Structure 1
Amino acid sequence: MLEYRVEARRVDAHGSLATTKEAQILLDTDVKGRPDAFNPAELFLASIAACMIKGVERVTPLLAFELRGVEVRLHGERQDSPPKMVSIDYELIVDTDESDHRLELLHTNVRKYGTISNTVATALPLTGRIVRKSAAPTSET
């Protein structure tokens, strides 16, 4: 069984700092918010994105799946009373020349083996799709 440890401490009334291993993240814990740090809901969404990208990194060698890049876009909805996230949708964008079938196979594997995404999916609707990154439009002269 794997275990994880994170410590967080209040820096001041405007923010906190979370640490693990040799890494740290500035947290927006100011009641008014701050633009230079992730608030708890954004950090939650970022952990799902990181889980999905890590899943892609884990399964691409197993599937011999070729890609040039991956992006995840997430949208979460929060209700006020009681405060909680009620749904999350995502778009997993993959820059690849692989077939549509192989793209869906990648999505299936990412969904099946994601620790964070699997945990979240048991608590609320986590829906999304995988799409191919469109080629950048060329300028005509």
Structure 2
Amino acid sequence: MMATSPKPKLSFLVQARRVDAHGSTADCKDARLVLDTDLAGRRDAFNPAELLLAALSACMIKGIERVVPILRFELRGVEVRVEGVRQDVPPKLESIRYEIVVDTDESDHRLALLHENVRKYGTVFNTVAPGTDLAGELRRKA
């Protein structure tokens, strides 16, 4: 029996640079984000904590997209709301609460299965969860 070589690990590269005292940019692939790195803050860009919450939200939606065809789960849409609470000393997000709202006619059991997959297989979710009080729910759209 021949040994198979291990699958290469997926890697990610983001490059960020300071534009001026009011902001920075981050580049990845063909995309660019404006970052709020201004000490006074700015309303037209995500600050670092908001970027983390956005990454967590995107991770949840991407996880749903990944598992929908496998589970043959029918949905019309997904919305995610994520809220983080920051502590000052040491500065960190002490808790993150999320709500995933799925527009679907699937059963409650199938919704629970979808939520289990989101929690179990999300790269960002599994990176954030061990160091943060991370909790939430997945529910059907009213």
After TM superposition, list the pairs within 5 Å mapping 1:1-141 onto structure 2. 1-134=9-142
State the distance in 2 between where 1:24 and 1:119 align. 23
CA deviations on 1:72-113 (whole Å, 9 max, x unpaired) are 101101111111111101001100010111011100011110
State the distance in 2 between where 1:118 and 1:126 align. 10
Q: Which amino acid aligns with 2:69?
A: P
Question: Deviation at 1:125?
Answer: 1.2
State the distance in 2 between where 1:24 and 1:97 align. 37
State the distance in 2 between where 1:113 and 1:130 align. 15
Runs (4 or more) in structure 1 with deviation over 4 Å come to none
Question: Deviation at 1:124?
Answer: 1.1
The TM-score normalised by the length of structure 1 is 0.94
Instruction: Please provide the CA RMSD for this pair.
Output: 0.6
Which runs of 5 or more residues in structure 1 are unaligned? 135-141
Tell me, what secondary structure is at the counterpart of 2:131? Answer: coil
Give the aligned length: 134
Aligned-residue identity in percent: 66
Which runs of 5 or more residues in structure 2 are unaligned? 1-8
